Amino acid sequence: MSRILATATSEFRIAFRNRWVLIATGMMVLFALVLAAAGSAPTGDVSVDRLSVTVASLTSLAVYLVPLLALLMSFDAVAGEVERGTLPLLLTYPVSRLQILLGKLLAHLAVLALAVTLGYGAALVAAVLSDPGAIKGIVSLVRLIWSSVLLGATFLGAGYALSALARRPSGAAGLAIALWLVAVVLYDLALLALIVTNGGGPFTTQVLPVALLGNPADAFRVFNLSAGQAVAAAGGIGGAAGAIPLWQSAASLFVWPVLAIALALAAFRKVTP
Amino acid sequence: MTPTLTISRLTKRFQSVEALTDVSLALQPGKRAALLGHNGAGKSTMMKIILGLIPFDSGDVSVCGEAPGSAVARMQVAYLPENVAFHPALTGEEQIRHYLSLRGENPRIAPKLLDRVGLTHAAQRRIGTYSKGMRQRVGLAQTLIGRPRLLVLDEPTSGLDPVSRRDFYDLLDGLSADGTAILLSSHVLTEVEARTDSILILSGGHLVAEGTLADLRSSAALPTLLLVRPAQGHALSLAAAFPEASIGADGLLRIACAQADKLPLLARITARGVEVADLDVIPPSLEDIYSHFSRRDGQ
């Protein structure tokens, strides 16, 4: 445990000096405030409080931004050590590869947690300032924070796996962007296209729920929208959220980080310095 | 005493290339061994196998009685890679604190370690601003963590100035006096000659020579060179007396002789009395011995 903490301390320091803490926090705060401002207009006739509506918009934002931030922070984790030549020395120390990965994960999760807490927190302040009753929605905001951290953990793990597979930062960066495009953008587009062509057929009722749970980003969206009962405020894929039991999307959120880290460890074990 | 490091019949192949063939050696506690060899002779490969960084194909390697790379072995082995690198965003002290924590030591002693390698003045600066010699010292400082029983040093003195090199070997003397076995590779033969107990020469993946410098000198049986300066006006008579000598442009007689013939030859020279103005005996240098052994394998 002390070895994991020591690795995490150094990694957090590096993330801080590389301005990652600043960039991640700044991005989240900026986008959250923009959404809070934009989201305040059409809430007049919706029965839920203002913050819950903002949370629904923040969920859609987080689906794109959290995986992107996680991949940007993690693609260098193994490939960077290989390129700098720091890996052989590190691996002669009495520290296991799992401990190294967990140390990096802990530091990067801390950066992500800080960024989403401050970002969503800014949206909370904006919502409460214009409508004191919005404080009721804080439960869904807290849920959004911890589920964002879990989503981040999944993509951090995936980023480490790609980093170990590519062994070069440039290759790892390319793979990370490709993964983000496929998992976060193209996957949903494909599902939407299938829904449109299939109408209300067996695909929409049988395959779609499984497909949504199989993608950590969609599971995150479904979980937050159905838990917040703000489904009505969100359109598109979110509309299907009601059909999936809450425990299933929650399970997907918790299982994916473990799978991703296991994948990263398997890829890292194959790297010979 | 059980050796700190034992290697027997070690063979390592990279695809079709044999990087190491049938290498056997043992290193006792407190002994300093120098690993010599041309580029690509297998020095770094051997070190990486000892550290457990890469697998090997056949043979046995035992580090402090354990398999290389096992948790117990890693606790007792310290390594300095060739061209050691660190994260440029960390300061020297932060980097050493990190390494101390990884070895389960108190990170507060980091300044003391940096002081031992003469880096106190730069401890709070980022490693990205360090010169190569300063990074090398950070690398040395991290090998001093804990009480390693085996030090594996790949080109440890590259990038160090002559004074730092001397300090570095003084540091090694202290460690080996405490019982640490040291395996180091170097291209600077003169310092290896003075500061190590035994020499290992790798050539084309084969261990072609092993022993103290005196052992290698006698088994190489290289000729000793005698340089004779004739006294004024005696050059011709002296040349006639030693027909085996070659006469250089500087007027010196050069006589190469086998180790066993050296003393009789010296007696013959001194018998010439006043005809000889000066005499130099030049034993084969470590360079000569080294190229003798590494050339034997077709190099």
In A, which residues are within 8 Å of B87 by CB distance?
A: 10, 14, 84, 86
Which residue numbers in chain B have pLDDT < 50? Answer: 298-299
Residue type, A216: P
Residue A225 pLDDT exceeds 70: yes
Beta bridge mates, B5? B27, B63
Dist CA B153 CA B4 (whole Å): 15
Q: Are A13 and B127 contacting, i.e. CB atoms less than 8 angstroms apart? A: no
The ipTM value here is 0.86
Q: Which residue has the higher pLDDT, A117 or A242?
A: A117
Q: Which residue of B has its CA nearest to A77?
A: B87
Task: List, for residues A232-248, the tens digit of each pLDDT value.
Answer: 445 555 555 567 788 88
Dist CA B92 CA B129 (whole Å): 10
Please give the distance of CA B76 from its chain centroid, rounded to a whole number.
21
Q: What is the pLDDT of residue A51?
A: 77
A 2-21 near B (Cβ less than 8 A): 2-3, 5-7, 9-10, 13-14, 17-18
Q: What is the pLDDT of residue B299?
A: 43
Q: Which long-range contacts (CB under 8 A, 24 or more apart) does B169-173 make?
A: B169/B194, B169/B195, B171/B116, B171/B117, B171/B140, B171/B144, B172/B32
Q: How many CB pairs under 8 A join A and B?
A: 73
Task: List, for residues B216-249, the tens digit of each pLDDT value.
Answer: 888 888 888 888 888 888 888 888 888 888 888 8
In B, which residues are within 8 Å of A84 by CB distance?
A: 85-87
In B, which residues are within 8 Å of A78 by CB distance?
A: none
Task: List, for residues A47-71, the tens digit of each pLDDT value.
Answer: 566 777 788 888 888 999 999 999 9
Residue A198 pLDDT exceeds 80: no
Residue A128 is encoded by which pair of tokens?
């409460």
Tell me how crowded residue B76 is: count the other CB atoms within 10 A of its CB: 18
Dist CA B158 CA B82 (whole Å): 8
